[in-house]
Structure 1
C-alpha cells in the first residue's frame, strides 16, 4: 500500500474519532478528556479535526478540494482562469461574475468561503482549548495556533475588517469586528510566538502539516503583503523570514524531460500524487472519495476529451483567457499544461472566448489546463492529486520581488533566472524589474491560488480586460456576506457594497 493511502486512511480514521459523539462519550467514561488530549494520539485527533477543514470537499468547503469555495474566489477574479456560462445553457453565472468583478454580498461562493473560514476557526479554537486544558505537548498547541492564524490570514486577505474570537463561548451575534490592522498584528504575533515551537520534521507524519518551515512560509506571506494590509512595507522582514525557511533545505524540483510523466516533464510531478519533498513546503492532501479531491483538470476538459483520456466525462468548464496563455513561450515546459486545437475524443478547443455571460461562450471555446494531470483513484467527481499550498519556487520569487522593491536588483537576478532555467528558458539579459518578477510569478504559479493576491500587490487587479472596463477600488476586498450581517448587528459592511 502506497504512502498516500496510509496517510489518507490515518487522517480519515482520526476525523471519524474526532467527530463521532458516541465514541467520545464511550471513551471518556473510561478515559478523561484532559488525559486523552494530553496524549500524543489524542493531540493528533484534536489537530486532525482542524486539518480536515483544509482538505474539505463539496459545498465550497476546503482550500482547493472542490468547487464554489475559497479557491474559486481567489483565482476566478483574476486574469488566469474563469468558467464561462456556455451558450448551450451550461454553468452557473457565479464564476463569470467573479471574472467580470460583478460579485454581490449575496453570492454563493462568497458566502461559502466565509462560512468555511469561520467553521475552521471554530475547530481551531476547540483544538487549542482541548490541548491547553490537557497540558498537551507545546508543539501540538503551537501547531493548533498556527493553523488558526492561517485561517485568519485568509480572512484578512479576502475580507479586511472581520469578526474575531479565540474562544468558542461567544454567540455569533456578539462577535466583535476588528480592523484589518488589528488582525494583522494578531496573526504576526501569534506566528512569531509559536513557529519556534513547531518541529523541523519534513515528510512522514508531517506531510501536509505545519512544521516550522511551513510556519515561516506563512509568516513570509503575511509580511510580503503588509503594505496592502496595513500600509507599511515589510520587505526586509520578508527576506529575513524566507532565509529562515531556507534552513529547511528546500530546492527546486528537476523540470526536464520525462518518459514517465504524462505531460512529458518531471516538473509536473509537483502537481501529482504525493508531492516531492525537495520543493513542497505545505501540501493539501487529497484522495478522491476518501479525503477531499482535486477537480481542476476534470472541471476544465470537455466530456469527450476526458472520456478518451481517462474513461470518464469531463465537465467542460474552466478555461484560460487567451491573454494569459499568450505569455508562455513555446520552449517553456510550463506550456505543456495547456490544451488548444484538436484533441482526443474529436474535440477542438479554440483560442478565443468572445462572451462570458450573455449568451455565453461556445461549447469548445477556450484553452484548457491539465497542470494537475489526474492520478488514481479518480472518477468523474475528481482525482487524487495533492495540492501545493506552499512550494519553494513561490518563495524564491517572493525573495526576488522583495529585493527588487528594495533596490537590490542584482541580488534578485540569480533567483529569477533559476525559475526560468528550470522551465527551459534563457536567463534574463539584465537585472530583473518588478514587471519581470510579476510575469514570472504568473507563469510559474498559475492555478495555485496566489494570483489575486499578486495582482493586488502589483497594482493590476483593477485593470480593464477584454470583457470589462477598469474596476473600482473597493473590489480589492470582498463584501461581508449578507447572511453574516443579518446574524450579527456589530458588523459594518466593507465600503462600496
Structure 2
C-alpha cells in the first residue's frame, strides 16, 4: 500500500529536480494538458502531501523536531524535553511546557513558516488542477488539503493572514478573523468532502479520501466553540457518524510476543498503520520521505544502541504524575519505561529540574509508543504516523453526546476504547472529565493534547513545573518576522 504514495512523492521529486524539464515534459504537453493527466494531477497533489511529512527545520505535521508537533505537544502536560545538567538541549521545549514562549520563539516561527509554505503549495495545486479541468476528485482533494492547513493555522494562531491565490505579496496579505477562516474551512470541506474517493488503502493510503475528509470536518466542528464562541456538537456528531459507512473498527489488542511492547495494539504505531482503524496516516521512510524521531529522541544513547545499534538523543520525557494516571492493567501504559534498561541505563521517573540547572542524564520516564522500525538510524525511524484514527472518532462521539446532555449514549463509545485497552467499562455514565482522561490515555503523543486541554478548560491550569497561565496563552503569538513583513497584521493580545 505504502509504495503507491511513495511513488507519487518520488515522481514529484524527480520532476522538481530534473535539469531538462522543458525537454522532457513541457515540449510535449501544455501545462493544462499535463495537470489534466493522471500523472500530472498526482504530481500537483504530491507537492502538497510532501509538506506533511516531518523533516528537519520544523517542516511537517509530525516526524521530526522543532515544528508543529512539538508546538502542540510540548505545550501540554504529556511531554517535554528538559535542558540537561550535562549542557544538552535548547530551552525552547521547556519554554513551551512552562508557557513562556515569545513572538521570537523558534518553534512558533517554524510552524508559521511551514503552514504558509503549505498553503502556498496547496493554492498552486488548486489553481493548476482547476485550470487544467482535472478530475473533480483531484481538485476536491487539493481544496481539502488547503482547508487542513488553514485549520491547523487558526487552531494555533487565531486571526491570521488569509489568501487563496498566490498572486499577492506578503505585505498585502489581509488578516482575517478566526471565525471568518473557520467559516471558509467549513464551507470548503462541506463542498468537497463528498467529491473525494471512498476508497481506502492502496493509492489512498496517506491521502485524503472521503473518510479522512469527514474526520477533518468533525475535528473542525469539535473545536468550533473555541474558534467562534458557538459550539457545533450536533454537527460534529453528524460528521463522525458519516464515518460509519467507511467500515472502520478498533484494531485488535492481543498478546503477541512478536509485536512491539508485546501487544498488537502497538501495530497502530509501526511501519504501516493498520487500515481497520487508521483513517489518515503520514507515510514515512527515513532519509527518503520524512522520518519518525519520537522514540529515538526519547531514549538515552547507550540504551538505544543496545536495542537498535543506532544513537538515541536522550531528549523527550513524560512527567511521572502523567504516567501515574494510567491504570497498571492498561496495556497503553507499556509505552512508558523507567528503571533498569539494556545498555547499563537506569531511568529515574522523578525529574528534579527542567531548566535550572536542568534534569540529570537518566531522569525522566521515556516513551516507546512508536517502537522504531527500519530502515532506521540515529536520524529517525520509518514508523508511519496516524493523524486520525477511529478510537479518536469514538471518543469524539462520546464527548458530543455528553455535551448534548445524553451521557448514556456516550458510554458505549468510551467503553469500547477502554475494553480494548484491557480495562473494564465505566461504572457509570461518563462525565466530561472521564472523556478528557480517556483521550489522554488513548491519544498520548499523537498531537492532540494541547487542543484537548484548551477545549476542556485544562490548558491554563498549573501542573508539574508549570504555573497557572494567562488566558492569552491559548493562542500563540504571530511571529515577529511576520509582523515586520506585513504591517497589516495585528498581534494577538498579551504579546
Q: TM-score band, normalised by the shorter chain?
A: over 0.9
Which of 365, 388, 404 does residue 406 from structure 1 map onto? 404
SS of 2:346 mapped into structure 1: strand
CA contact (8 A) 1:162 1:177 kept: yes
Which of 74, 77, 102 does residue 76 from structure 1 map onto? 74
- Answering whether residue 146 of structure 2 is matched by residue 148 of structure 1, we say yes
SS of 2:340 mapped into structure 1: strand
SS of 1:221 mapped into structure 2: helix
- Answering whether residue 26 of structure 2 is matched by residue 28 of structure 1, we say yes
- Answering whether residue 477 of structure 2 is matched by residue 479 of structure 1, we say yes
CA contact (8 A) 2:4 2:203 kept: no
Q: How does 1:180-191 map to 2 (within 5 A)?
A: 180-191=178-189
Partner of 2:106: 108
SS of 1:313 mapped into structure 2: coil
Q: How many residues align?
A: 495
Which of 463, 466, 487 does residue 465 from structure 1 map onto? 463
Which of 420, 423, 427 does residue 421 from structure 2 map onto? 423
SS of 2:305 mapped into structure 1: helix
Partner of 2:368: 370
Partner of 2:119: 121
TM-score normalized by structure 2?
0.99
Distance 1:125-1:384 versus aligned 2 partners, 3 A rule: same
Partner of 2:394: 396
1:140-193 CA-partner distances (Å, limit 9, x unpaired): 000000000000000010000000000000000000000000000000000000
Partner of 2:247: 249
Could you list the structure 1 runs, at least 4 aligned residues long, displaced by more than 4 angstroms after superposition: 18-21
CA contact (8 A) 1:58 1:65 kept: no
Q: CA deviation at 1:24?
A: 5.0
Partner of 2:492: 494
Whole-Å separation in 2 of the counterparts to 1:394 and 1:25: 48
Which of 165, 168, 189 does residue 167 from structure 1 map onto? 165
Greater mean deviation of Cα atoms: 461-470 or 184-193: 461-470
Q: CA deviation at 1:16?
A: 2.7
CA contact (8 A) 2:84 2:358 kept: yes
Partner of 2:46: 48
Whole-Å separation in 1 of the counterparts to 2:180 and 2:145: 18
Partner of 1:352: 350
TM-score normalized by structure 1?
0.98
Which of 4, 23, 30 does residue 2 from structure 2 map onto? 4
Which of 88, 95, 98 does residue 86 from structure 2 map onto? 88
Whole-Å separation in 1 of the counterparts to 2:353 and 2:22: 54
SS of 1:8 mapped into structure 2: helix
CA contact (8 A) 2:53 2:284 kept: yes
SS of 2:279 mapped into structure 1: strand
Whole-Å separation in 1 of the counterparts to 2:170 and 2:23: 27
Which of 320, 323, 344 does residue 322 from structure 1 map onto? 320
Q: CA deviation at 1:328?
A: 0.8
Partner of 1:237: 235
SS of 1:30 mapped into structure 2: coil
SS of 1:470 mapped into structure 2: coil
